[in-house]
Amino acid sequence: MNKNQIIVTGASGFLASNFCHLYKDEFEITGIFYSHKVGLANVKTISLDLTNKHATEEYIRANPPDGIIHLAALSNPNICELKTLDSFKTNVQATVILAEICADLDILFVFASTDLVFNGLNAPYAEEASTLPISTYGFHKVMAESKAMEIYPKSVICRLPLMYGHPYAHGESFLQPILRELKQNKHVTLFTDEYRTVISAREACIGLRLALELHGNLIHFGGKESYSRFEIGQKICDIFGFERSLLLPTRQIKVNMPARRPPDVSLTNRKARQLGWNPSDLLVELSMIKVEIEGGSDEL
Ligand SMILES: NC(=O)c1ccc[n+]([C@@H]2O[C@H](COP(=O)([O-])OP(=O)(O)OC[C@H]3O[C@@H](n4cnc5c(N)ncnc54)[C@H](OP(=O)(O)O)[C@@H]3O)[C@@H](O)[C@H]2O)c1
């Protein structure tokens, strides 16, 4: 039997490279990167600027897949705040272009959004909650969500929380800079007043895989529990064998950053669980990632 063909955008990024790694044998995957060339085992990769409508249409029409998982983004909220036009082009315009193509060709369209569509004052957030972003990144993701749904009601929007894991390409999670500092015996300063229902990239990819079976949906993939960044740091120390005393607590108000940060954007997961998604324990996932990291990767 022929495998389903899917295009995964953002293949050089953190999440998409994990998706390609996890599902390379189940699907015939074409991974789209932009500026960072990537080699992923058993995945065809091509470079494409998704903000270029003509080039994107030309490629996809010539190579129509069964589905597109759209994970390319300008994903750093501080950069989005400083480069608003770039954020609009990458986070909104590229999504609109892909939604239009998928609508036209009747292709499955799964799109990654974020918990930062909320202001963080009324957690936990279910799918019915009204969005109220406080950063350019969050605002552009809300725009992208509503435009995708308007253009192509069969789109599936997956709101993902903060994620951690082992990178299989250029993009990293917040775990890597923390580990780099701890390995050098340096202190790491983390917020005690910023809460997220974190999940691993593996868990997120399982959610995205489930989303491929759906039509026209919005799903929150909140992790099993909500933790502050400082608490996550403590678990990282415990699993990776570093002294907790290397962690220094701080509060959002004490750190000046371009993008405003919501205090608690914890997401619910009732709908995702009903679909069969089952988030695991943070300590269990971190232990698996430690094994993955120690095993190394030749896919960069
Ligand atoms: N990471 C998190 O904790 C988190 C949390 C919630 C939601 N999300 C969402 O999940 C998705 C994946 O995030 P991530 O952390 O994996 O992102 P990432 O590591 O920053 O990767 C971004 C990807 O987008 C690609 N890209 C950027 N501009 C492009 C363009 N014009 N044309 C084609 N590709 C372009 C990049 O390609 P090059 O590098 O080759 O230029 C890269 O592969 C994003 O939608 C993000 O908003 C992430």
Residue of 19, 34, 90 with the most ligand 1 atoms within 8 Å of its CB, for mutation: 34
Q: Is 35 in the pocket of ligand 1 (CB under 6 A)?
A: yes
DSSP string, 62-109: HS--SEEEE------HHHHHH-HHHHIIIIIIHHHHHHHHHHHHT-EE
- Structure tokens, 288: 């698996």
What's the burial of 171, exposed, middle or buried (CB within 10 Å: 0-12/13-18/19+)?
A: buried
- What is the end-to-end Cα distance of the chain in Å, rounded? 30
Please state, rounded to an integer, the average pLDDT across all residues of the chain. Answer: 96
pLDDT tens column, 280-294: 999 999 999 999 988
pTM score over 0.85 = yes
Nearest CA to ligand 1 atom 15: 14
- How many A from CA of 244 to the centre of ligand 1? 31
CB contact at 8 A, 144 and 87: no
pLDDT at residue 298 in the model: 45
The CATH number of whichever domain residue 167 belongs to comes to: 3.40.50.720
Rounded alpha-carbon distances, angstroms, from residue 209 to 68, 146, 226, 254, 259: 11, 22, 23, 39, 31
Q: Could you give the angle at which helices 229-240 and 282-295 cross, rounded to 10 degrees?
A: 50
Checking if the pLDDT of 177 tops 50, the result is yes
What are the tokens at 205? 């990819």
**225-261 as b/e: b if 16+ CB within 10 A:** ebbbbbbbbebbbebbebeeebbeeeebeeeeeebbb
Please indicate whether residue 200, judged by its CB atom, sits closer than 6 Å to ligand 1.
Answer: no
Q: Is residue 95 part of a domain?
A: yes
Could you tell me the two tokens for 115? Answer: 């918990």
What confidence tier does 297 reach under pLDDT thresholds 50, 70, 90?
low
Percentage of residues in the chain having pLDDT higher than 70: 98
Q: Is the pLDDT of residue 296 over 70?
A: no
Domain annotation covers residue 114: yes
Q: Residues 218, 264: contact at Cβ < 8 Å?
A: no
pLDDT of 179 reads 97
50 Cβ closer than 6 Å to some ligand 1 atom: yes
- On whether residue 249 sits in a domain, the answer given is no
Query: Has residue 65 been placed in a domain?
Result: yes
Specify the pLDDT at position 74. 98
> Residue 93: inside a domain, yes or no?
yes
Task: Note the pLDDT of residue 2.
Answer: 79
Residue 232 placed within a domain: no
Q: CB of 118 within 8 A of CB of 134?
A: no
Q: How far apart are CA 156 and CA 18, in angstroms?
A: 19
Select from 243, 262, 104 the least CA-distant residue to 182: 243
Range of the domain at 26: 5-171+198-224+267-280
107 in a domain, yes or no?
A: yes
Residue with tokens 């490279």: 17
pLDDT band, residue 238 (cuts 50/70/90): very high
pLDDT tens-digit series, residues 103-117: 999 999 999 999 999
Residue 197 and residue 114 in contact, taking contact as beta carbons nearer than 8 Å: no
Ligand 1 proximity of 87 Cβ (cutoff 6 Å):
no
Does the pLDDT of residue 251 top 80, yes or no? yes
Give the model confidence (pLDDT) of 17-49 as tens digits.
999 999 999 999 999 999 999 999 999 999 999
Q: Is residue 48 part of a domain?
A: yes
> How confident is the model over 52-76, as pLDDT tens digits?
999 999 999 999 999 999 999 999 9
- Is 300 a residue whose pLDDT tops 50? no
Look at the chain and report how many structural domains it folds into.
1
The rounded distance, in Å, linking the Cα atoms of 174 and 96 is: 28
